[in-house]
């Protein structure tokens, strides 16, 4: 029994004394320490995003905010809630957007000027009209989210009569007409980044078009048809609302967002999520080099730290460059700088001018950064592509280490 305990103790001591196990423990400690600068980089990107949001807020204050276009209403003067208003039957909204970029510091914010044309008809019958407004006075109104974005007096037609007014609310004193009373509003507004249209009719037809090549459609319902080209788009919505459920769906809306084609901060955030993987793979490559090297090259833990720091510097360079040049140029410029630095350090310092391993390192990093670039732009397929990539990497590791004697203390 004592002999067995002694044997077990020797095996345990031999296990923990194995240089490869010590090196593995060192990797784990270094990896955990390097998560701190990864977190700091994440905070830096978050701060840059906040600065961009502040720039957008500044533009919104001087130009106009995200606009929401509300449908016209026809209500009694003394109405208490929307239930007392006359129902909007057919509602047609046609919006043509002309976009441009406004600059605040280094940030570009998309803004727009929109020509708005609202048409439709209210359902009015005499009994209901008299009951709702005994003094025969009604208010015809329209509204937008940010009133300062209204840049010209609206053209208002009600029952084919022109109304001259600069107000959002207009009092009508004419006798009520039985049936469907038509109306039309034409005006021009300004806004920033996004525009929405509220569905308020029983039958809603919305058509939004503009000279922007990268819109996104959201809201409570997606467009029935949409066309997106390089420098323009168009989208159409059709949304019928059941009369009994009209109030429940009163706030349904269509939303068009003017997205920046490539958001450098969002892409940098996604790239940073792979930093841990890059560091781990880099450690693995150099560790395998130590195992299979015939010259028994040894790499000091501080040298591993220097290489990992170079990898993290890539993300800092990426964020800095992408604020001034297109993202893809910033990406490959940063990658080339970091790959060249690591390859030169490997050639002159770590391997003492071993050109074969230095070329291997250079080629490996090129493949890794190209692989990451593909993952960034193929978001829908990134999971399966990443899984296959890791499978291939593991196969390569198994093949390269097939002749390593893991029980050899050296």
pLDDT single digits (tens) 154-210: 888 888 888 877 778 887 765 666 778 899 999 999 999 899 999 888 889 999 999
pLDDT of residue 338: 93
Q: Identify the CA nearest to 180 among candidates 122, 120, 130, 128.
A: 122
Whole-number Cα distances in Å, 42 to 39, 48, 152, 336? 5, 10, 45, 22
Q: Are 135 and 83 in contact (CB under 8 A)?
A: no
Residue 57 lies in a domain: no
pTM of the model: 0.74
Mean pLDDT value across residues 370-391 = 83
Residue 408 lies in a domain: no
- Looking at 260, 281, 301, the residue that finishes a domain is 260
Whole-number Cα distances in Å, 90 to 132, 183, 252? 21, 10, 15
Q: Are residues 178 and 294 in the same domain?
A: no
d(CA 182, CA 251): 22
Q: Which tokens belong to 110?
A: 């998309």
**Residue with the larger pLDDT of the pair 80 and 357:** 357
Residue 410 lies in a domain: no
d(CA 63, CA 80): 34
Q: Are 268 and 315 in contact (CB under 8 A)?
A: yes
Q: Are residues 391 and 310 in the same domain?
A: yes
Q: Identify the CA nearest to 164 among candidates 180, 140, 143, 145.
A: 140
Whole-number Cα distances in Å, 308 to 33, 38, 267, 363, 410? 11, 11, 21, 17, 25
Q: Are residues 132 and 215 in the same domain?
A: yes
Report the 10 Å Cβ neighbour count for 194. Answer: 19
Residue 344 lies in a domain: yes
pLDDT of residue 247: 52
pLDDT of residue 97: 94
Report the 10 Å Cβ neighbour count for 207. Answer: 18
Residue 407 lies in a domain: no
**Residue with the larger pLDDT of the pair 357 and 225:** 225
Distance of CA 342 to the CA centre of its chain: 32
Q: Are residues 32 and 179 in the same domain?
A: no
Residue 191 lies in a domain: yes
Q: Are residues 116 and 77 in the same domain?
A: yes
Q: Are residues 75 and 46 in the same domain?
A: no
Q: Tell the burial category of 135 from Cβ atoms under 10 Å away from its Cβ (0-12, 13-18, 19+).
A: exposed
Mean pLDDT value across residues 234-261 = 75
Residue 377 lies in a domain: yes
d(CA 332, CA 271): 13
Mean pLDDT value across residues 331-338 = 94
| pLDDT tens by residue, 280-305 | 888 888 888 877 776 656 788 888 88
Token pair 């003017």 is found at 258
Residue 405 lies in a domain: no
Q: Are residues 77 and 202 in the same domain?
A: yes
Q: Are 332 and 319 in contact (CB under 8 A)?
A: no
Give 238's strand partners. Answer: 205
Q: Are residues 155 and 223 in the same domain?
A: yes
**Residue with the larger pLDDT of the pair 76 and 150:** 150
**Residue with the larger pLDDT of the pair 243 and 184:** 184
Q: Are residues 210 and 359 in the same domain?
A: no
pLDDT of residue 334: 94
Q: Are residues 32 and 110 in the same domain?
A: no
Distance of CA 193 to the CA centre of its chain: 13
pLDDT of residue 249: 47
- Looking at 260, 285, 317, the residue that finishes a domain is 260
Give 2's strand partners. Answer: none
Number of domains within the chain = 2
- Integer-rounded Cα Rg, in Å, for the chain is 33
- The residue range of the domain holding 328 is 2-51+265-400
Q: Are residues 185 and 70 in the same domain?
A: yes
Phi and psi at residue 332, in whole multiples of 5°?
Answer: -75, -30
* CATH at 108: 2.60.40
- Looking at 237, 260, 283, the residue that finishes a domain is 260
Q: Are residues 308 and 396 in the same domain?
A: yes
| pLDDT tens by residue, 121-165 | 988 866 555 555 555 678 888 889 999 999 888 888 888 888 877
pLDDT of residue 158: 87
């Amino acid at each position: 029994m004592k002999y067995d305990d002694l044997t077990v103790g020797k095996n345990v001591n031999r296990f923990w004394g194995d240089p490869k196990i010590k090196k593995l423990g060192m990797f784990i400690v270094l990896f955990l320490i390097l998560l701190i600068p990864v977190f700091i980089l994440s905070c830096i990107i978050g701060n840059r995003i906040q600065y961009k949001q502040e720039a957008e807020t500044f533009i919104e204050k001087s130009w106009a905010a995200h606009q929401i276009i509300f449908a016209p209403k026809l209500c009694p003067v003394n109405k208490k809630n929307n239930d007392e208003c006359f129902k909007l039957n057919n509602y047609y909204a046609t919006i043509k957007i002309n976009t441009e970029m406004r600059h605040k510091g280094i940030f570009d914010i998309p803004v727009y000027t929109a020509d708005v044309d609202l048409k439709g008809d209210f359902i009015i019958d005499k009994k209901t009209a008299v009951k709702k407004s005994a003094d025969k006075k009604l208010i015809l109104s329209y509204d937008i989210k940010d009133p300062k974005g209204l840049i010209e007096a609206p053209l208002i037609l009600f029952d084919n009569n022109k109304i001259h007014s600069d107000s959002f609310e207009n009092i009508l004193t004419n006798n009520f007409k039985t049936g469907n009373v038509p109306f039309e509003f034409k005006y021009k507004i300004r806004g920033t980044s996004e525009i929405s249209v509220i569905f308020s009719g029983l039958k809603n037809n919305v058509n939004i078009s503009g000279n922007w090549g990268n819109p996104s459609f959201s809201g409570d319902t997606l467009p029935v048809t949409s066309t997106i080209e390089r420098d323009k788009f168009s989208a159409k919505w059709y949304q019928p609302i059941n009369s009994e459920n009209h109030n429940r769906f009163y706030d349904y809306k269509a939303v068009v967002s003017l997205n920046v084609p490539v958001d450098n901060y969002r892409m940098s955030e996604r790239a940073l999520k792979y930093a841990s993987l890059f560091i781990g793979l880099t450690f693995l490559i150099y560790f395998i080099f130590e195992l299979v090297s015939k010259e028994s090259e040894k790499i000091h833990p501080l040298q591993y730290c220097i290489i990992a720091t170079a990898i993290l510097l890539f993300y800092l360079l990426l964020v800095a460059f992408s604020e001034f040049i297109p993202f893809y140029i910033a990406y490959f410029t940063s990658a080339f700088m970091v790959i060249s630095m690591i390859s030169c350090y490997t050639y002159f310092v770590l391997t003492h001018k071993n050109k074969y391993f230095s070329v291997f390192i250079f080629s490996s990093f090129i493949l890794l950064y190209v692989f990451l670039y593909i993952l960034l732009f193929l978001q829908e397929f990134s999971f399966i592509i990443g899984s296959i990539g890791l499978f291939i990497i593991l196969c390569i590791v198994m093949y390269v280490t097939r002749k390593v004697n893991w029980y050899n203390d050296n």
